[in-house]
Amino acid sequence: MKYTKQELIEKIKKNETDFFQETFMEHGWRLPSKQPDTINKFKKLWELNMGDGNDWEVALEFIDENLTIYMSGYYSSEGDSEFSLVAFGVPYEFKETRYRSATLAEIRDMKIEEILTK
């Protein structure tokens, strides 16, 4: 069944996670062009799944309604995954510093820089 933008907004306001989760789980793997005409076409914008028993976050865009939603919950490989929150989604930039092992050349260069600065 297709819903109006206002009906989708009401579902978000009422935190109807079951509706959005069922829609996502049943059709989220399909491209919008391959989704049935009987539902509101959407595309997955972003997903963060930290694995079994951990946080699960998803952002979806309902294309014709120009509406972005954010869902969060937990993921279980046993099939008991669920979202506990659905909200209006907004993009933001997230910057993260990560680390890797240093190569011998990098270690050598760090020591040279240390010597030159003393």
Give the integer Cα–Cα distance in Å for 82 and 101: 36
82, pLDDT greater than 90: yes
104, pLDDT greater than 80: yes
pTM: 0.81
Q: Residue 80 — very low, low, confident or very high, per pLDDT cuts 50/70/90?
A: confident
CA 29 from chain centre, in angstroms, equals: 13
- Residue 24's alpha-carbon distances to 18, 20, 35, 48, in angstroms, are 10, 6, 11, 14
pLDDT tens for 34-74 read 999 999 999 999 999 988 989 999 999 999 999 999 999 99
DSSP 17-76: HHHHHHHHHHHTTS-GGGS-TTS--EEEEEEEE--TTEEEEEEEEETTTTEEEEEEEEE-
What pLDDT, on a 0 to 100 scale, did the predictor assign at position 115?
67
What pLDDT, on a 0 to 100 scale, did the predictor assign at position 91?
96
Q: Residue 108 — very low, low, confident or very high, per pLDDT cuts 50/70/90?
A: confident
What pLDDT, on a 0 to 100 scale, did the predictor assign at position 50?
85
25, pLDDT greater than 70: yes
